[in-house]
Amino acid sequence: MANIVAITSCPTGIAHTFMAAEGLEQGAGKLGHTIKVETQGSVGAQNQLGDAEIAAAEIVVIAADTNVDLSRFAGKRIYETSTKDAINDGAAVIQTAFERAAVKSGEAAASAQAAPAAAGKDATGQLLEAKATQSASRTGAYKHLMTGVSYMIPFVVAGGLLIAIGFAMGGIYVYDDAHKGTLAANLFWTGKAAFQLMVPILAGYIAFSLADRPGIAPGMIAGVIADSVGAGFLGGLLGGFIAGYTVRGLNQTITLPKAFEGLKPVLILPLFGAAITGLLMYLIGGPVHSALAALSEFLKGMQGSSALVLGALLGAMMAFDMGGPVNKAAYTFGTGLIASQIYEPMAAVMAAGMTPPLGIALATFIFRNRFSADEREAGKAAAALGISFITEGAIPFAAKDPFRVIPSLMIGSAVTGAMSMYFGAQLKVPHGGIFVLPMPNVVTNVVEYTLAIVVGTVLTALALGILKKPVAAAKV
C-alpha cells in the first residue's frame, strides 16, 4: 500500500474537477492505496494538501485540463494526465502513474523559490525553464487556452448577470443620462466593467500558463490593446499566446549575472515582453479586427439553413465528448462571441449541453428495462446536472456504452442547437442552465428556446430507447 496525493482541475471548475477526484479515489481504493485529492474548482481549492501529506506521498497525480502550479511538489515523482482519463478509469491512471511518474526537470528551482535568499538568487527564471520542459508532456495550446478561459468565465458570468439585472431594474435605457447615479445604472455599468476585463484576463492567463507570473503583465497588456484596436476575443487569444511565447523565449535567451538575476522576473521579462508583444499586437490588430468583423457580420446575417447547420454543428460538438476538447471548443466559441455582442451561438451551446444528461434521465424513466438499477438511480443525478448545464452528467453512461449512447446524445443535441439558432434565441451569459431563463434580458425567445431543449431531450431519450438493448438481453 502506498500514499498518493493528487490534484484535479478543469476549465469551469464544476463537474470534471470533482468527477476526476472521485475516479482517482475509487481507483486508488481498488488497488489498495491511500489517496488524498485536492480539487481546484470554481470556489477555490478544497481538501487542500498539507506539507506533511505531500512529504509522505510516494507519487503525485495531476489530473487537470488547466495549468497547475507544481512548485510545492519539488523532488516528488509526478504524473500528469487529463480529467477525462481519471473519470473513465481511475485505477488505470493510478497504475500508470506508478510506472511513469518522474521528478520534473528543473524541480530544484521550485525548491529554491521557497528560500531565494539562501540560494543567493531568484528562482523564477529557473521555474520558467521548468515550465517549458513540462509543457512537452501536456496537451499544448489547448491546456493554455483552457487556463485562460477558466479565469475569464467568472467575469463573463458576473458581467452578464449584472447587466441583465440593471436592465430589469431600470429598463432598456438604463445607460442614459436620465438614469445616471441610480442603483440600476450603477449595476449596469459594473457589469460593463466586468465585460471590459474579459479579453485582458483571457490573454493574461494564457500567457501565465505559458510563462508563469512574468507573462501576466504582457498578456493583459496584449488583451487591452486587442480591445482598443477592435480585435476583440480573437485578438486577445492571439495576444495571450504571443505574450507567453515571447516571455518564455526571452527567459531562455537572456542571461544575467547572479547579482542581477532578481531583476529578471520583475523588470526585464515584463518590460521587454510587453514592448515586443505590444508592437506585434499593433501590427496584427488591423487584420484580426477585419477577420472578427467579417465573422460577426456572417454570424449576424445567418438565417434559415445556414443557422440550422451552425446550430447542429455546435450541438453535436457539445455532445460528442461531454466536457472534452471538442465540447470545450464549441463552448469557447460561444463564450468568446459574447464579447462581440453575438449571443445566438452561446444560446445554442448551452441548450445543446443540457440535453445529453436530461435525455439520459428521461430515458432511464421511460425505458427502464434498458438500464440497470444503479443506472436508473444515477439518472436522477443526471437530471439535476442537466438543468444546471453540466453536460458531464452523461459521462458515466457514455463510458459504459459509447457506441450507442454517444450517437443518441449527438442526435438530440444537434437538433436542439439547430432549433435554438433557427429561433434566433440569444443567451448573454455563459452558464446557468434553467436558472437564468426567468431573468429578464438574459435569454430571448424563452418559449422557443425552452421548446428546443425539450425536443432535444425527448429525441435523445427515444434514440437511447431504440439503440440500447434491454438489460436482460444485453451481452455481459
- Choose the catalytic residue: 4, 5, 7, 10: 10
Q: N- to C-terminal Cα distance for the chain?
A: 32
Question: Nearest to residue 86, comparing CAs of 7, 13, 21?
Answer: 21
**Looking up cell 422557443, which residue turns up?**
448
How many residues in the chain? 476
**Phi/psi of residue 9, each to 5°?**
-160, 135
In angstroms, the CA 80 to CA 112 distance is: 22
> What count of other Cβ atoms lies within 10 Å of the Cβ of residue 258?
10
Does the annotation mark 179 as catalytic? Answer: no
**Phi/psi of residue 103, each to 5°?**
-70, 130
What Å distances lie between residue 11 and 154, 262, 350, 393, CA to CA? Answer: 11, 32, 16, 16
Q: Check residue 303 and give left, alpha or beta (phi > 0: left; psi -120 to 50: alpha).
A: beta
**Looking up cell 456504452, which residue turns up?**
401
* Residues marked as catalytic: 10
